[in-house]
Amino acid sequence: MEVMILGPAGSGKSLLTASFGKYLQGEGFIVKFVNLDPGCAVLPYKCDYDVRGMFTVEGIMQSEGLGPNGAMLRAMEKLCNVEIPKFSADFTLIDTPGQLEVFAFHKSGPKIVKSLEDPVGIFIIDGTIEIEDLPAIYLYALAVRYRLGINMITTINKADLLDEAKAEKVKDYLLNPSEHKEKLEFKGVLHDIYTPLSEILQTVIPAQRIPLISAKTGKGLDELLNMLYEVKCVCGDLT
């Protein structure tokens, strides 16, 4: 099963790739690690395939005289020609670029998806974000899901940093934005925008559990694995 780990900058993609991979190995699975982020310096796992072997953002900045964002865009163009090896593994975990928007809303993201065999996405929402930013990040998660055209599990990460009340608030809202929108206490213009947005979100979110996980402590990784199996089961593939 090919699993793409997606999420905004700093949400925990690389650490989850490492810790979920370790968890899966502990369960007896064969796991391969793929890094598609040409901008990272160090990774918390050992790569079986690393796009930095072909190009890096730093290298492009120097060779083409570009700034970091221009070089990242150029890197995404190069990523279109990258072929991820087909590993014979139970799970291939694919860590994706920090600048998610340049990957997902660029032709490279969908192109990479097409080259894979029906990958599943894990979209990470950083649970420590301001509670009032949840509708925007949720819309972002859905936009990425439909743009890439893949089955995706939404997760709330950094559970170890959340108190019970905040964790519950975040989870309740993501599961049922219409019913729980008032609890987010939007103020001013955010109220005017996010109240109707919550109603729209309610009509387009998939009926799915949202695991509360910690890439740091390993909390919730068992539920994540169960959900991956469920997603594949719905698609008719039990492997």
* 7 contacts ligand GTP (rule: CB under 6 A): yes
Residue 102 CB, nearest approach to ligand GTP (Å): 11
Helices of type H across 86-220: 100-104, 108-115, 134-148, 164-175, 177-180, 188-204
List, in order, residues 6 or more apart from 46 with CB less than 8 Å away: 33
Residue 93 parent element (H or E): strand 91-95
Interacting residue with ligand GTP among 6, 11, 94, 221 (CB under 6 A): 11
Sign of CA dihedral 103, 105, 107, 113: positive
Report how far residue 155's alpha carbon sits from residue 204's, in angstroms, rounded to the nearest whole number. 17
Interacting residue with Mg ion among 1, 4, 8, 13 (CB under 5 A): 13
Rule CB under 5 A: which of 148-207 touch Mg ion?
A: none
Residue 124 CB, nearest approach to ligand GTP (Å): 7
Rule CB under 6 A: which of 69-128 touch ligand GTP?
A: 98
Report how far residue 188's alpha carbon sits from residue 186's, in angstroms, rounded to the nearest whole number. 7
Residue number, nearest CB to ligand GTP: 98
Report how far residue 201's alpha carbon sits from residue 131's, in angstroms, rounded to the nearest whole number. 16
Measured from the CB atom, the residue of 49 and 195 that comes closer to ligand GTP is 49
* 19 contacts Mg ion (rule: CB under 5 A): no
Rule CB under 6 A: which of 165-204 touch ligand GTP?
A: none
Return the SS3 of 19.
Answer: helix
Q: Answer with the entry of Mg ion, ligand GTP, none that 220 interacts with (C-beta below 5 to 8 A by kind).
A: none
Under the rule (CB under 6 A), what is the footprint of ligand GTP?
7, 9-15, 37, 40, 98, 157-158, 160-161, 214-216
